[in-house]
Amino acid sequence: MLMQQVHVSNPSSSCLILQKPCLRDITHPSFQLWSRPSSFPNQRKQKRVSYGCRSNGNKIKAVAVTEAENKSVKVKATITVQPTVGGIFSEMAIERGLDDIKDLLGQSILLELASTELDPKTKLEKETIKDYAHSKHRSAQEVKYEGEFEVPDNFGEVGAIFVTNEHHREMFIKDIVLDGFLLGPVKFTCESWVHSKYDNPAKRVFFSNKSYLPSETPEGVKRLREEELEQLRGNGQGERKSFERIYDYDVYNDLGDPDSSDDLKRPVLGGNQHPYPRRCRTGRPRCDKDPLSEKRSSTVYVPRDESFSEVKQLTFSTKTLSSGLKALVPALKTLIVDKNLGFPVFSAIDDLFDEGLYLPPLKGIRSILPRLVRHIKDIQEDILLFDPPATMNKDRFFWLRDEEFGRQTLAGLNPCCIQLVTEWPLKSKLDPEIYGPAESAITTEIVEREIRGFNTVEEAIKQKKLFILDYHDLLLPLVKDVRELEGTTLYGSRALFFLTREGTLRPLAIELTRPPMDGKPQWKEVFTPCWHSTGVWLWRLAKLHILAHDSGYHQLVSHWLRTHCATEPYILATNRQLSAMHPIYRLLHPHFRYTMEINALAREALINGDGIIESSFSPGKHSILLSSIAYDQQWQFDLQSLPKDLISRGMAVEDPTAPHGLKLIIEDYPYANDGLVLWDALKTWFTEYVNLYYADDGSIVSDTELQAWWEEIRTVGHGDKKDEPWWPVLKTKLDLIDIVTTIAWTTSGHHAAVNFGQFSFAGYFPNRPTIARNNMPSEDPSDAEWELFLEKPEVIMLKCFPSQIQATTVMTVLDILSNHSPDEEYLGETVEPAWEEEPLVKAAFEKFRGKLIELEGIIDARNADRTRRNRNGAGIVPYELLKPSSEPGVTGKGVPYSISI
C-alpha cells in the first residue's frame, strides 16, 4: 500500500486545499539517467507532469513512503499523435507498409520513464523504465498509442519521458498521459515533431512542467539541462536537415540569386558595411558566382518545431500565402503581359472589385484562395475578384480627402512615424556638398499662410501644434540609384501637419527634393492644398509620392524590420540560452510561435531579389537596403517600447498624474490610446510573473542562463549594434520586466497595428500606392509633358500609380496578410500549460485576460465617442486594430500572441 505523508511548516497554507505538492521552497527532487543520450532536443509546448504552486512564505514538503520497496503500481501511458500531410500516416508514404507492420507488432514508439531521484545507495541515476506503445485507436483527427509500465513504489516522481519513434517517418505528438499514480494522471503536453530513429537515433526528451531557475535545478537535471542547450546550439557546421532542431545565426546573404542573373545579386545584410539583425543559419552551399551569397532553394530550413504548415489547418494564412504566391502571381504575369501597363481610367480600378479579372486555368486555386477566386458557372471560368476594403465600403472617395490623409497618420496603417516639430527652420543633416543646400523649402511664410488666423510658426511650435512625416534624409541618398531603375522614381520627402482645435491633423505642405544629379542642380518644391485646379492636381500628385514613400517605409521598416526581422534573434537566443524549464522561456514562448517560418517564407518570396516588395514598391531592388539603412540609423531596442517610442517622437511627455504615466500631446491618438492600455496590461502580467520566480535583484544577476541570453541578443543577434550605449542593462527585476514587455509588445501589439489593417487601408491602392512611377510634372517638364498635365491631369495620376500587375499582386498579398486563421492564437485567450499548473501564475494570467476583455469595451466606447474625430465620423472606419480578439478572416482587429503571418 502506498501512503502519502505530508509535512507542513505552515498549516494555514491554501495549497493544502489542492492536495498538490507546493513548488516554491521545496528541495526539488532530481533525476539522472542510466544511460546518457546523445541529444536532448528542446520541447516547444508542454503541460503538467506534476502539480504545484509558488508561495513566498509557505514551505510544504510532500514525500512518498512505502511499506515494501518491492511493491509497484501499474501505469498506462496514452500517446496522442496527430495525422499530418507528410507524416507517418500519409497514404502516399513509401514506408507506410513497414510502419503498419510495426504498429501491428506493437513496436511503434519506445517510451522510457526517467525518475527525478537518484539511487539512494549508489547516488547514480536510476535505470529508466521502458515499454513499447502500440496502436489502439485511429481516426482522421488523431491516433492513440498505449503502453504499460510497472513502476516501483520507490521509483519516485517521473521527471522526463524519452521517446524513440520506431517509424520510418516523423510524427507529431500532441500529448502523453500517464494514468495510475495515486495523485492522478500526469500529462505531458508535447505539441512537437519527433523524428524517425532512422533519420537520427538520438532519443527525444520531454520534461516535466515545473519551471526552474538554473540555481534551483535539481542535481539530476543539471546535466540534461546543459546538454539539451548544447544540442540545440549545434556546431555551426554542415547543411541543416529538415528534421533537425538546431538554432544558429547567419547574416542575410540569401536574398539574391547571382547564379541565375547578375541583376539578382544583392548585398549581404549584416556586418559593418550593411548592419542588420541576424537570421537562422541554414548551412546551404555558397553561390558559384558570389562566394559571399548562399544558394537559394525551394525550401528554407527552420528548426522543426518552428515549422507548422502540415500541422495547421489548410486555411492557415501562411500556407495560403505560400501557395497563393506560387500559383496566382505567375498567372497574373501571363494574364497581364505588359508589366508597365497601367489603369487607363479610374473605373478600371473599380472593376477589380465589381467585375474581377478572368484567370487562366489553375488547378486548385479556388481551394487555396477561396476569398479571392470565384467560379462563374455560366462560363465555367475562375475570376480574381476583390472584396471592397472596409474604408472603401464606408466612403468611396475617402482617399481624396486631406482630412483622411492626416487622420491616417494617427489611426491608419503606419501610425508610428508621425513626430512633433521641435526645431525651426527644418534642415537636412546630409552633406550639402553632395546633396545640395540643407535648408528646407518649407518656409515660415508658407506655413503662416496656411495657418493664418491660428498661430505664427513660433507660437505653433511652442504650443506643440506642428507635426511632420519626415523621410527626407533617409530617402535622398537613394534617389539617384532608384531613378536608374525602369518604371519608378524617388524623392526625399517631408509632409507637415497642423493640429487643429478639434484634435485632428490638417496637412499644410509637402516638400519633394531631388539631389544634384546628371549634371542638374538640386531640385526641391513645396506643394500645398490649393483652390485652383492646377495646384489641386499638383497637391494630389505630391500626396501620391509621399504616400508611396510612407508605404515603403511601413512595409520595410515599421513592419518587416521592427517586428519580423528584429524578433528572429530573440527567438534564436531564447532557444539557445534558456532551457525549456526556464520560467522566462515559458513566458516568451507563445510570443515566438511560427515567426521563423513566416520569416523564411518572406526571404523566399517577399523581400528577396525580384520578389513582391522589390517589384512593387518604390525603392525597387534597393528596398531591403533601405531596411538596413533604417536599422543602422534609427533602430534602438529601448525605443521599441511603446512609451519610450512616443516620448522620443515628441508625441508624449512623462507625467506621473496622467494615465499610464504619460500625457499625450495629441489626446485623440488611437494607436497610442489603445496601445498604452495593452502595454500596461502586458507589463502588469509580466511583473507578477517575474516576481513569482525571482525573489530579489540578486537572483537576476546570478541567473546564468538569463545573463547569457541577454548577452547573446546584444552581441550576436543584434551584434552590429553591440556597442551602442542605449542597450538596457539586466541587473534588476525591473530591467527584466521592461525587456520582456518590449519584446512581447513588438510581437503582439505593434505587429497587429501595422499588419492586420493592410487590406483595409491599402486594398484600394489609390489611398496608399506602393510605388510612384513618374516624376512630378513640375520637375524639369518638357512642353509636351506639361501640356498633357494641363489637358489630362487624371492621365498623369494614373500613369504614376502602380501598374496593373503591381497593383493586383500587392492587393492579393495584402488580402492574405490581413487574414486571421480560424485557429489564430489571440493574446490572453488561452493559458499556457505551464502557467495553468502554477496556481499563482494562473491567477495572474486570469487578471491579464480580464484586462484584455476590458480593453475590448474601452475601444468600443472610444469608437462611439463623437468627440474623438480621429476614430468617429461620417465614412470613418472605427479604429480596432488593437482590439485583442477577432473572428476569422479580414476583420481589421485582433492581436495574436506572435508574428504568425
Active site residues: 559, 564, 751, 755, 901
Determine if residue 503 is left, alpha or beta; phi over 0 gives left, psi from -120 to 50 gives alpha, anything else beta.
left
CA 377 to chain CA centroid, Å, is 40
What are the phi and psi torsion angles at 76 (to 5°)? -105, 130
Cβ atoms < 10 Å from Cβ of 55: 19
Amino acid symbol at 139:
S
In whole angstroms, give the CA distance from residue 625 to residue 474.
11
- φ/ψ of 126, rounded to 5, equals -70, 150
Which of helix, strand or coil describes residue 182? coil
477-482, Cβ contacts within 8 angstroms, sequence gap of 24 or more: 477/430, 477/435, 477/515, 477/629, 478/619, 478/622, 478/625, 478/626, 478/629, 479/514, 479/515, 479/517, 480/515, 480/517, 481/622, 482/618, 482/619, 482/620, 482/622
Can you tell me the distance from the alpha carbon of 800 to that of 778, in angstroms, rounded to the nearest whole number? Answer: 14
Tell me, what DSSP letter sits at residue 365? H
What number of other Cβ atoms are within 10 A of residue 85's Cβ?
11
What is the spatial distance between Cα 808 and Cα 470, in angstroms, rounded to a whole number? 29
Question: Taking a C-beta distance cutoff of 8 angstroms, is the pair 830, 645 a contact?
Answer: no
Distances (CA, A) of 857 to 311, 677, 850, 851, 870: 34, 12, 11, 10, 18
Phi and psi angles of residue 642, each rounded to the nearest 5 degrees, phi first:
-60, -50
CB atoms within 10 A of CB 224: 24
Dig out the grid coordinates for 437 from the structure.
543646400
Q: Which of 123, 110, 190 lies closest to 149, judged by CA?
A: 110
Query: What are residue 137's DSSP bridge partners?
Result: 144
Distance CA 561, CA 466 (A): 28
Residue type, 819: N
The whole-angstrom separation of Cα 66 and Cα 553 is 68
The answer to whether 670 touches 879, Cβ cutoff 8 Å, is: yes
Contact 813, 612 (CB under 8 A): yes
Please state whether the peptide bond connecting residue 425 to the residue before it is cis, i.e. omega within 30 degrees of 0.
Answer: yes
C-alpha cell at 401: 480627402
Task: Enter the C-alpha cell of residue 545.
Answer: 509620392
- Strands of 432-537 (E only): list them: 466-470, 492-499, 505-514, 523-527
CA angle 375, 380, 385 (to 5 degrees): 30
Q: Which residues pair with 664 in a beta bridge?
A: 652
Question: Distance (Å, rounded) from C-alpha 636 to C-alpha 244?
Answer: 33
Three-state SS at 674 = helix
Please give the torsion angle defined by the CA atoms of residues 732, 737, 738 and 739, in that order, rounded to the nearest 10 degrees: 90
Contact in structure between 852 and 846 (CB atoms under 8 Å): no
Cell of 884: 485583442
By CB atoms closer than 10 A (0-12, 13-18, 19+), residue 309 is middle
Provide Rg for the chain, Cα atoms.
30
- Distances in Å between the alpha carbon of 720 and those of 250, 272, 442, 587? 12, 7, 36, 27
Paired strand residues for 420: 467
Rounded Cα gap, residues 800 and 798, in angstroms: 5
Q: What is the DSSP string of 244-271?
A: -----EE-B--S--TTT-GGG--PPBSS
CA distance linking residue 450 with residue 498, whole number of Å = 9
Cell 537520427 belongs to residue: 200
